[in-house]
Structure 1
Amino acid sequence: MTTAEEKMAIQQQFKERMDEEELLNCMRCGFCLPSCPTYIESGYQESHSPRGRIALMKAVVDGVIEPDEDVERSLDLCLGCRACEPVCPSGVQYGRLLEEARDIVQQHKKHSFPARVLRSAVFKGLFPHQNRIRALTGMLGLYQRSGMQTIIRKSGMLRILPEHLAKMESILPKVPNLKQLKKRPDRLPPVGEHKKRAAFFSGCLMDTLFLDTNMATIKLLQMAGCEVVIPGLQACCGALHGHSGEKNLAVQLAKRNIQAFEKSDADYIVTNAGGCGAFLNEYDHLLKDDPDWCERAKAFTEKLRDFSSILLELDFEQKPLELPDQTVTYQDSCHLRNVMKTSAEPRRLLQSIKGIEFKEMKNADSCCGSAGIYNIVEAKMSMKILDSKMEAAKSVQAETIVTANPGCLLQMQLGIERAGLSDRVRAVHLADLLLEASAE
Structure 2
Amino acid sequence: MTTLKERDIIQQQFKERMDEDELLNCMRCGFCLPSCPTYIESGFKESHSPRGRIALMKAVVDGIIEPSEDVERTLELCLGCRACEPVCPSGVKYGHLLEEARDIINQSKKHSLPVRAVRKAVFQELFPYQNRMRTVTGLLGVYQRSGLQAIVRKTGLLQLLPDNLATMEKVLPKVPTMKELTNRPTHLEAKGVLKKRVAFFSGCLMDTMFLETNNATMKLLQMAGCEVVIPPNQACCGALHGHSGEKDGAKELAKRNIKAFEELHIDYIITNAGGCGAFLIDYDHLLKDDPEWKGRAKAFVNKLKDISTMLVELKFYQSLLRLPAQVLTYQDSCHLRNVMGVSDDPRSLLKAIEGVEFRETKDSDRCCGSAGIYNIVESEMSMQILDHKMENVKASHATTIVTANPGCLLQMKLGIEREGLSDKLRAVHIVDLLLEAAEYAQRI
Distance 1:355 1:48 in 2: 43
Residue number in structure 1 paired with 2:359? 359
Structure 1 position 342 matched with structure 2 position 342: yes
Residue number in structure 2 paired with 1:81? 81
Residue number in structure 2 paired with 1:96? 96
Amino acid in the other structure paired with 2:330: Y
Any idea what SS the aligned residue of 1:324 has?
Answer: coil
Amino acid in the other structure paired with 1:78: C
Residue number in structure 2 paired with 1:256? 256
Residue number in structure 2 paired with 1:435? 435
Residue number in structure 2 paired with 1:314? 314
Residue number in structure 2 paired with 1:37? 37
Residue number in structure 1 paired with 2:173? 173
Distance 2:3 2:183 in 1: 51
Distance 1:185 1:170 in 2: 30
Amino acid in the other structure paired with 2:139: M
Distance 1:202 1:185 in 2: 11
Per-residue deviation, 1:185: 1.8
Distance 2:266 2:71 in 1: 44
Per-residue deviation, 1:184: 2.4
Residue number in structure 2 paired with 1:386? 386
Any idea what SS the aligned residue of 2:134 has?
Answer: helix
Residue number in structure 1 paired with 2:60? 60
- Over the matched positions of the two proteins, sequence identity in percent amounts to 72
Any idea what SS the aligned residue of 1:424 has?
Answer: coil
Equivalent residues in 2 for 1:272-283, closer than 5 Å: 272-283=272-283
Residue number in structure 1 paired with 2:135? 135
Structure 1 position 398 matched with structure 2 position 378: no
Residue number in structure 1 paired with 2:304? 304
Distance 1:237 1:283 in 2: 10
Per-residue deviation, 1:71: 0.3
Residue number in structure 2 paired with 1:8? 8
Distance 1:259 1:221 in 2: 23
Distance 2:265 2:181 in 1: 25
Residue number in structure 2 paired with 1:240? 240
Residue number in structure 2 paired with 1:216? 216
Residue number in structure 2 paired with 1:107? 107
Does the 8 Å contact 2:197/2:226 carry over to 1? yes
Residue number in structure 2 paired with 1:120? 120
Amino acid in the other structure paired with 2:28: R
Amino acid in the other structure paired with 1:27: M
TM-score (norm 2): 0.99
Amino acid in the other structure paired with 1:386: L
Distance 1:359 1:95 in 2: 30
Per-residue deviation, 1:381: 0.1
Any idea what SS the aligned residue of 1:323 has?
Answer: coil
Deviations 1:42-67 (A, max 9, x none): 11110100000000000000000000
Does the 8 Å contact 2:134/2:182 carry over to 1? no
Any idea what SS the aligned residue of 1:79 has?
Answer: coil
Distance 1:299 1:263 in 2: 11
Residue number in structure 1 paired with 2:47? 47
Distance 2:301 2:367 in 1: 24
Residue number in structure 1 paired with 2:268? 268
Any idea what SS the aligned residue of 1:97 has?
Answer: helix
Amino acid in the other structure paired with 1:250: A
Aligned-pair Cα RMSD in Å: 0.5
Per-residue deviation, 1:305: 0.3
Amino acid in the other structure paired with 2:270: V
Paired residues in the alignment total: 440
Any idea what SS the aligned residue of 2:138 has?
Answer: helix
Per-residue deviation, 1:183: 1.6
Deviations 1:403-431 (A, max 9, x none): 00000000000000001100110000000
Q: Which runs of 5 or more residues in structure 2 are unaligned?
A: none
Residue number in structure 2 paired with 1:368? 368
Amino acid in the other structure paired with 1:43: G
Distance 1:112 1:58 in 2: 28
Any idea what SS the aligned residue of 2:356 has?
Answer: strand
Deviations 1:189-238 (A, max 9, x none): 00100110110000000000100000000000000000001001100000
Residue number in structure 2 paired with 1:150? 150
Distance 2:296 2:27 in 1: 34
Amino acid in the other structure paired with 1:335: H
Per-residue deviation, 1:263: 2.2
Distance 1:178 1:202 in 2: 17
Q: Which runs of 5 or more residues in structure 1 are unaligned?
A: none
Deviations 1:293-328 (A, max 9, x none): 000000000000000000010010000000001000
Distance 1:174 1:68 in 2: 43
Any idea what SS the aligned residue of 1:328 has?
Answer: strand
